[in-house]
A and B are shown apart, each in its own frame.
Chain A
Amino acid sequence: GAGVSQTPSNKVTEKGKYVELRCDPISGHTALYWYRQSLGQGPEFLIYFQGTGAADDSGLPNDRFFAVRPEGSVSTLKIQRTERGDSAVYLCASSLRDLDYNEQFFGPGTRLTVL
């Protein structure tokens, strides 16, 4: 079946603007993660959804970042008042089970550039 998809693949915006990044997980996967990855670094956890609810949002850097998953499938990461330091690749991953046995399958990422 289809893997995790993310749109757009690239997003260029100006400082101060609002952006939305979308993630379509693998069908039937109940768990969904957002990460961001800066050049030369490993992915950094942002938020974890179990179904429709955010079970762990401890990685969101500040209140400019928000994510939703209203129907337990597609998720949107929203960034308000973007800053140049938000530039990174934003990765989404999904997994079949939401407890301990949870292999994560990653999407191709959205490269965000804030000018």
Chain B
Amino acid sequence: GIQVEQSPPDLILQEGANSTLRCNFSDSVNNLQWFHQNPWGQLIILFYIPSGTKQNGRLSATTVATERYSLLYISSSQTTDSGVYFCAVARTTSGTYKYIFGTGTRLKVLA
């Protein structure tokens, strides 16, 4: 099956700093989503981005499907950005809807 690796596993930032989170996947996919899991366990979708670049406020994401990676950029980080960021991929063209999640990047933003 498809393997998903995220880096770094842990990240500590001072409020206001910028960061880049990376998601590598082992096979071609046609679905990719980024999620934020807050400290209370709620998963919130950030981006649906199987290819290209999207921006939403301080967050942006880029997926280069041909090179099998995606990047999530967080600018001017805030304490509310703390939590775990997951990348999830699927290749629905193969007849499955099985999304594979990475192990996440645990982010802590200090005030």
Give A residues with C-beta under 8 Å from B.
31, 33, 35, 40-45, 48, 50, 55-56, 58-59, 89, 91, 93, 99-106, 108-109
Contact = CB atoms under 8 A, between A and B. Distances in A.
Interface in B39-92: 41-45, 48, 50, 86, 88, 92
Interface of B: 4, 30-31, 33, 35, 41-45, 48, 50, 86, 88, 92, 96-104
A4 to B, nearest CB: 10
A42 B103 contact: yes
Contact of B103 (A35, A41, A45): A41
B68 to A, nearest CB: 18
Contacts of A42: 4, 86, 88, 101-104
A100 B97 contact: no
A109 B41 contact: yes
Given A105-B45, A106-B42, A99 B96 contact: no
A48 B96 CA distance: 9
Contact of B100 (A40, A45, A56, A101): A45
Given A99-B92, A100-B92, A45 B98 contact: yes
A56 B98 contact: yes
Contact of B99 (A45, A50, A99, A105): A45
A100 B102 contact: no
